[in-house]
């Protein structure tokens, strides 16, 4: 009973060598969609950024959980600054929709980690030390 190992599923997601190009494509698609007139309604913008953030988490499972929202914040910034070149003002409603879409996709990951910490799942200091270095 103790000697048998459970069969594990093969790792999901893309190979790590494709993370940067795939991330750039996802960011570019999110930016392009957010600049289209179709993405003017609040709910559509929320769904665009939710779908993009969720796709990034699904396709790149080994990226640190904080890196994807950080990059998504840059995409949000670009999607709001790009119309400024044409003389349009930044829309607080669009920014709110974009941020809400990213937050809705990101929140479950942080809630899951909070639950792990509350259950006592604290990693030793030496493991994944790259996250703590400045």
Stretch 118-124: mean pLDDT, rounded?
82
Q: What is the mean pLDDT of the chain?
A: 86
What percentage of residues in the chain have a pLDDT greater than 90?
A: 55
pLDDT at 65: 86
pLDDT at 8: 66
For 30-50, the pLDDT digits (tens) are 999 999 999 999 999 999 999
Global pTM? 0.79
For 2-22, the pLDDT digits (tens) are 667 667 666 677 888 899 999
Could you give the CA distance from residue 133 to residue 43 in angstroms, rounded to a whole number?
38
pLDDT at 125: 62
Stretch 110-124: mean pLDDT, rounded?
86
pLDDT at 134: 47
């Amino acid at each position: 009973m103790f000697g048998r190992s459970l069969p594990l599923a093969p790792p999901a997601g893309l190979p790590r060598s494709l993370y940067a190009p795939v991330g750039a494509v996802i960011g570019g698609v999110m930016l392009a969609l957010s600049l289209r007139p179709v993405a003017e309604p609040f709910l559509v913008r929320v769904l665009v950024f939710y779908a993009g953030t969720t796709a990034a988490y699904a396709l790149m499972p080994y990226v640190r959980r904080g890196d994807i929202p950080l990059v998504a914040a840059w995409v949000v910034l670009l999607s709001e600054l790009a119309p400024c070149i044409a003389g349009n003002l930044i829309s607080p409603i669009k920014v709110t929709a974009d941020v809400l879409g990213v937050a809705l996709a990101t929140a479950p990951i942080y809630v899951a980690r909070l639950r792990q910490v509350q259950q006592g799942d604290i990693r030793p200091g030496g493991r994944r030390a790259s996250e703590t270095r400045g």
